[in-house]
Copies of this chain bind each other. A is one copy, B any other.
Amino acid sequence: MWLRIDPRQAKPLYLQVVDGVKEAVAKEALKAGDRLPSVRELAATMTLNPNTVAKAYQELEREGVIEVIRGRGTFVAKPGARPHKEEQLNAMKEMMKQVWVEAQHLGLSTPDFLELIRAWTAEWDGAKGRESRGSSH
């Protein structure tokens, strides 16, 4: 399964679902057109409240990651046509700044920092397609 939920984490459950789906798509464990489990199915297999899953799906749809077709199911959307590009770039920069601040406090030099990121992205890129059983977290 391309999703792992841990109720002990501080991150809200619905957000874990959102980020988990997005990660699966990024790692190509889920591809455009793939069908997602129904709200009820996912809730059952992950032992979540259906409301929690529904909220996650709503958020994913709002971000343009998935498409809900009434009566047919839920599908991974085609890339492109993502709304809010501007917003998301800003959010990304903000998150990136936080990462950078942490790196400074850990005493990482800029070259070491960039090299670390290069290695990590290589790892994640390498995981593409290979069913997303990821080393991290």
A residues engaging B (CB < 8 A)? 7-8, 10, 12-13, 19, 22-23, 25-26, 62-63, 65, 67-70, 72, 79-80, 82-85, 87-107, 110, 113-114, 117-118, 120-121, 124-125, 136-137
Contact = CB atoms under 8 A, between A and B. Distances in A.
Contact of A7 (B22, B69, B85, B110): B69
A84 B26 CA distance: 25
B120 A107 contact: no
Given A22-B101, A94-B136, A100-B120, 7 more contacts: A7-B70, A8-B67, A8-B69, A92-B102, A93-B120, A93-B137, A97-B124
A22 B88 contact: no
